[in-house]
Amino acid sequence: SLDRSGFPAAISVAEAADFVVVVIFTLPPDQSQLWQGLDVTTNEHVDLSSPRGSHH
């Protein structure tokens, strides 16, 4: 959803808090893949099972 109507209240609460926990979740373009057991989170294609050196 692009509804951002709750943002001002959330920002106020976060600014008044001692700490906050932020969770960001994105969905793949083809959401049916979520139910097929595929690795479909955003940028999943760049994850590696073991490091291959620096990417700088």
Number of domains in the chain: 1
The answer to whether the Cα torsion of 25, 31, 33, 36 is positive or negative is positive
Residue 22 maps to a domain? yes
DSSP state of 34: G
Residue 52 maps to a domain? no
Residue 12 maps to a domain? yes
Q: Is 7 helix (H, G, I), strand (E, B) or coil?
A: helix
The confidence band for 23, taking pLDDT boundaries of 50, 70 and 90, is confident
CB distance 47 to 55 below 8 Å: no
Residue 37 maps to a domain? yes
Q: Is the pLDDT of residue 55 over 60?
A: no
CB distance 26 to 42 below 8 Å: yes
Residue 54 maps to a domain? no
Q: Structural domain of residue 38, as residue ranges?
A: 7-46
CB distance 30 to 36 below 8 Å: no
Q: Is the pLDDT of residue 53 over 90?
A: no
Q: What is the pTM of this model?
A: 0.42
Residue 41 maps to a domain? yes
